Amino acid sequence: MHINADFTKRVVLHADEIDWIASPMAGVDRRPLDRIGGEVARATTIVRFAPGSAFSAHTHGGGEEYIVLDGVFQDEMGDFPEGSYVRNPPTSRHTPASAPGCTIFVKLWQFDPEDREEVHVDLNTVDVTPDPARPGISARLLYAGYGEEVRLEHWAPGTEVCLDAPGGAELLLIDGTAQESGDALKRRSWLRVPPGGAIDATAGPDGATVWIKTGHLTRISVPEVAAG
């Protein structure tokens, strides 16, 4: 399966407007954003767990990165409420579930194979600091390594945001609104900018909170079963 698999092209999707697709596990549905492969795939997805649902235990050969958008995501490492940002590196293993139900934004098979750093951050309480070089923007670095950076940014109302992306960029709008290159972004809009592109945005009247990942799109690897 190939969905938005041409990484030389800019993509904008409004996740709340995409139809849900049932997964192999009862009560777990998905909205694909990009994907290369079948059930084992390099993928970026919105996943919804119905109350009481669970996914089979599995190992993340290529790593897993997710944000809890609502509800509470659960596994052997604990409960992760709305606003949790988690990186489970390659070789990590867990059994995902949700007793109350939840929705997550999740990226699979997108780590450097040597990366072993775990990250758990509460985006609701993490401190962001004003960026002196970018008026109207406060940010917090969530992860940096292997050529990529991940940040949480708060854009003040009306702030103009210009960000070159030599290694590509990806943005999830968590809250608020923004305009980007003629597209109106809203809560749960997803933007992918190819290597050599740029983010050219203006925050809406209530500002915007965004998750941004940069530098990672020059290395597109997929699991062998997906590639075959």
What percentage of the chain reaches a pLDDT higher than 70? 98
Residue 124: which pLDDT band, with cuts at 50, 70 and 90?
very high
81-108 pLDDT per residue, tens = 999 999 999 999 999 999 999 999 999 9
Q: Which CATH architecture has domain 129-214?
A: Sandwich (2.60)
- Give yes or no for residue 19 having a pLDDT over 60: yes
Q: Which residue has the higher pLDDT, 146 or 225?
A: 146
DSSP string covering 202-217: EEEEEEEEEEEEES-T
Instruction: Say which CATH superfamily domain 18-122 falls into.
Output: Jelly Rolls (2.60.120.10)
178-197 pLDDT per residue, tens = 999 999 999 999 999 999 99
Q: Which of 212, 76, 77, 79 minimizes the C-alpha distance to 141?
A: 212
Section 129-134 average pLDDT: 96
Section 56-83 average pLDDT: 94
Query: In this structure, what are the phi and psi dihedrals at residue 165, rounded to the nearest 5 degrees?
Result: -130, 70
Q: Which of 30, 29, 34 minimizes the C-alpha distance to 8?
A: 34
70-83 pLDDT per residue, tens = 999 999 999 999 99
Section 106-132 average pLDDT: 95
SS3 18: coil
Residue 41: which pLDDT band, with cuts at 50, 70 and 90?
confident
- Give yes or no for residue 227 having a pLDDT over 70: no
Q: Which residue has the higher pLDDT, 59 or 214?
A: 214
Find all residues with CB under 8 Å of 111, minimum gap 6, and list them. 62, 63, 65, 87, 89, 90, 146
Mean pLDDT rounded to a whole number for the chain? 95
- Give yes or no for residue 203 having a pLDDT over 50: yes
Per-residue model confidence (pLDDT) at position 228 = 46
Q: Cα(56)–Cα(27) distance, rounded to whole angstroms?
A: 12
CATH 2.60.120.10 residue window(s) in the chain: 18-122, 129-214
Q: How far is CA 126 from CA 111, 118, 139, 159, in A?
A: 23, 17, 10, 21
Q: Which of 210, 206, 213 minimizes the C-alpha distance to 188?
A: 210
